[in-house]
């Protein structure tokens, strides 16, 4: 089923509601949800041609689904990439990327501040199959450069990072990668194409957890890889077909409809996050705030240039304390005093979610590793949703005022 014809040069907001596969014979205005695992073939001859790749058309759910294709076409349009492949989760997207592009002896460079499961998947699981990797400090371009070896195939960056919102220079990393004959992949989860389009800055692959802002309302798990048509068809598709990390059509449909409001949500949630970051920075119980939209952020200028002048919707902060024990108790106190907002490790929801990274996402690290990563016991991550800012501040004030 082919792509719905669209004019050249349409804006992101238009593509977000219009890019999809062709309508069915019923002329539905809202994209249809095709919940089917198989497809009826018009003849044995046609079926044979489809299996031989000589005729367009679906055969089985693991090889393709029109609703999933609509989501892929819409996300590709937003990222400005030729093609996209949806996966069952963000981690499945990383799995598919590494499985498709790497072999024993190949080397990957990635940042030490990446999503915890990414570090474990590449650094430990793929290591069992002979894939080597080096972790580098996120913002140190020289370290990225020095880590590159003749066998380096992939540089993998995430910007901004979780939970400290460190930013790296995508264009500079793309140049480093290409000079070394390697590819640059960017996890664009936190900024989304509404704020940042890594392809335009030279990235070869954009990876997404659709679980976060693409769905945007905390409903489904999903993931995706955006890349050239050649890479998607020749590298990702064969592995995807045979491994089955496919996205459910229902989840694809939810993300497809979520994408329609992505730009609005990212702008609104970024504005609310900036307001909260300013408020936290002025609060006497707060030691430090991490947010790319603040002047105090070490890569503020780069972030504003790279992220359309917005900081995204994740704000982290340290509560003031004299010892790690006291910091942990104080952070827990702030979370436990919440009445409206949620204690929840997810992010990218319309509901504001708070979490304590040192005891959750970074809980398995040793205290020394945590210190090196800058994840203190007093650190709280706020994934800002769409509640009224006064209600958010009032709820956080309950715990924070008792610390002063
Ligand atoms: C959540 C997340 C992932 C993993 O995505 P899942 O959909 O949970 O598998 C990867 N990278 C970042 C930055 C994330 O926030």
Q: What are the residue boundaries of the structural domains of the chain, listed by start? A: 12-259, 262-403
Q: Atom 5 of ligand 1 has which residue's CA nearest to it?
A: 90
Between CA 165 and CA 306 the distance in angstroms is 13
| Ligand 1 pocket residue status of 187, Cβ below 6 Å | yes
Between CA 101 and CA 99 the distance in angstroms is 6
State the DSSP string of 161-175: -TTT-----HHHHHH
Assign 404 a pLDDT band (cuts: 50, 70, 90).
confident
Assign 370 a pLDDT band (cuts: 50, 70, 90).
confident
Pick the CATH number of 12-259 from 1.10.468.10, 2.60.210.10, 3.40.640.10, 2.60.40.10: 3.40.640.10
The predicted pLDDT at position 19 comes to 96
- Dihedral angle sign, alpha carbons of residues 105, 106, 112, 114: negative
Count CB neighbours of 5 within 10 A. 6
The predicted pLDDT at position 231 comes to 98
Query: What is the rounded average pLDDT for all residues in the chain?
Result: 96
Between CA 13 and CA 111 the distance in angstroms is 32
* Average pLDDT of span 43-65: 94
Judged against a pLDDT cut of 70, whether residue 339 lies above it is answered with: yes
Q: Taking a C-beta distance cutoff of 8 angstroms, is the pair 321, 330 a contact?
A: yes
Fold: same for 12-259 and 262-403: no
Q: Atom 8 of ligand 1 has which residue's CA nearest to it?
A: 90
Topology (CATH level 3) of domain 262-403 = 3.90.1150
For residue 6, what are the CA distances in angstroms to 22, 66, 143, 177, 317? 11, 18, 43, 33, 44
Assign 42 a pLDDT band (cuts: 50, 70, 90).
very high
Judged against a pLDDT cut of 70, whether residue 164 lies above it is answered with: yes
The predicted pLDDT at position 383 comes to 98
The predicted pLDDT at position 3 comes to 81
Q: Taking a C-beta distance cutoff of 8 angstroms, is the pair 1, 25 a contact?
A: no
The predicted pLDDT at position 33 comes to 97
Give residue 121 CA to ligand 1 midpoint distance, Å.
12
Q: Atom 11 of ligand 1 has which residue's CA nearest to it?
A: 115
Q: Taking a C-beta distance cutoff of 8 angstroms, is the pair 77, 17 a contact?
A: no
The predicted pLDDT at position 372 comes to 76
Judged against a pLDDT cut of 70, whether residue 1 lies above it is answered with: no
Phi, psi for 222 (deg, rounded to 5): -165, 160
Phi, psi for 267 (deg, rounded to 5): -70, -45
Between CA 194 and CA 217 the distance in angstroms is 16
* Average pLDDT of span 175-201: 98
């Amino acid at each position: 089923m082919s792509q719905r014809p669209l004019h050249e040069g349409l804006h992101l907001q238009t593509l977000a509601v219009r890019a999809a596969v062709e309508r069915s014979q019923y002329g539905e205005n809202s994209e249809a949800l095709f919940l089917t695992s198989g497809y009826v073939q018009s003849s044995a001859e046609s079926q044979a041609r489809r299996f031989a790749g000589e005729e367009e058309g679906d055969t089985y759910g693991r090889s393709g689904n029109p609703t999933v294709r609509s989501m892929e076409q819409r996300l590709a349009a937003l990222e400005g990439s030729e093609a996209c492949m949806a996966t069952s989760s963000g981690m499945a997207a990383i799995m598919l990327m590494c499985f498709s592009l790497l072999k024993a002896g190949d080397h990957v460079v990635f940042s030490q501040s990446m999503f915890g499961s990414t570090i474990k998947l590449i650094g430990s699981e793929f290591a069992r199959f002979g894939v080597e990797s080096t972790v580098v400090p996120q913002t140190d371009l020289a370290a990225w450069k020095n880590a590159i070896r003749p066998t380096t195939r992939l540089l993998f960056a995430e910007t901004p990072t979780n939970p400290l919102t460190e930013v790296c220079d995508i264009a500079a990393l793309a140049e480093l990668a290409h000079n070394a004959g390697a590819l640059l992949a960017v996890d664009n989860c936190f900024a989304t194409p509404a704020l940042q389009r890594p392809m335009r800055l030279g990235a070869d692959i954009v990876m997404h957890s659709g679980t976060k802002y693409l769905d945007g309302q905390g409903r489904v798990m999903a993931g995706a890889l955006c890349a050239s048509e050649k890479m998607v068809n020749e590298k990702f598709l064969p592995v995807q077909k045979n491994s089955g990390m496919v996205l459910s059509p229902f989840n694809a449909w939810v993300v497809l409809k979520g994408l329609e409001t992505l730009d609005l949500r990212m702008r609104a949630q970024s504005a609310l996050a900036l307001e909260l970051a300013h408020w936290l920075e002025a609060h006497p119980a707060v030691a430090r705030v991490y947010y790319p939209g603040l002047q105090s952020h070490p890569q503020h200028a780069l972030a504003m240039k790279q992220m359309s002048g917005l900081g995204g919707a994740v704000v982290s902060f340290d509560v003031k304390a004299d010892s790690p024990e006291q910091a942990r108790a104080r952070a827990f106190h702030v979370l436990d005093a919440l009445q409206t907002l949620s204690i929840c490790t997810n992010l990218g929801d319309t509901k504001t979610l708070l979490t304590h990274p040192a005891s959750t996402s970074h809980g398995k690290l040793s205290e020394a590793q945590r210190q090196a990563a800058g994840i203190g016991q007093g650190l709280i991550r706020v994934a800002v949703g769409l509640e009224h800012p006064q209600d958010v501040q009032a709820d956080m004030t309950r715990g924070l005022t008792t610390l002063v």
